[in-house]
């Protein structure tokens, strides 16, 4: 009786193929994990900027001052005080903030129409808005 031996070279080719495929997949996996931090875009710097928040707060407070003022004299006083506060605050924050307003003449205590022009400039951001507020 003659026993035939299996061809060992074909089983070694299969082992080599499986081992090579495993090694290639492992190398690609580790390279992708190594490269992953460079492919993620960091947007936190934009979210951490405070200029848009300051600009929106100044704008909202200006509207609130017009809405809460009793008469023309009170409006003029409140806006003048607020303009001084904004000027001091922007100098502390090292921002170029231009806050200007015009109360419509003749002033009507029931209407209190006021036009605003607000501009904020920093090394990274330029924001501006012109709007009219009535009571």
> pTM for the complete prediction?
0.67
Average pLDDT of the chain to the nearest whole number: 88
Could you report the per-residue pLDDT of 9-37, keeping only the tens digit for each? 667 777 888 889 999 999 999 888 887 77
Contact 79, 103 (CB under 8 A): yes
What confidence score (pLDDT) does residue 10 get?
65
The edge-to-edge listing of strands for the beta sheet with 114-121 is: 96-103, 114-121, 126-133
Could you report the per-residue pLDDT of 46-91, keeping only the tens digit for each? 778 899 999 999 999 999 999 999 999 999 999 999 999 999 999 9
The half-sphere exposure of 63 on its side-chain side, counting CA atoms within 13 A, is 10
Q: Is 102's pLDDT higher than 80? A: yes
Q: For residues 99 and 83, give the distance between their C-alpha atoms in angstroms, rounded to a whole number.
A: 6
């Amino acid at each position: 009786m003659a026993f035939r031996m299996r061809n060992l070279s074909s089983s070694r080719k299969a082992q080599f193929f499986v081992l090579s495929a495993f090694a290639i997949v492992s190398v690609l996996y580790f390279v992708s994990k190594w490269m992953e931090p460079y492919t993620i875009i960091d947007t936190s710097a934009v979210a951490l900027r405070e200029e848009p928040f300051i600009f929106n707060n100044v704008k909202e407070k200006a509207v609130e001052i017009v809405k809460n003022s009793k008469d023309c004299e009170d409006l003029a006083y409140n806006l003048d005080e607020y303009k001084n506060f904004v000027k001091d605050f922007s100098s502390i924050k090292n921002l170029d903030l231009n806050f200007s307003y015009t109360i419509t003449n003749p002033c009507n205590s029931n209407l209190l129409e006021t036009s605003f022009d607000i501009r904020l400039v920093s090394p990274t951001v330029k924001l501006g808005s012109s709007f009219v507020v009535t009571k």
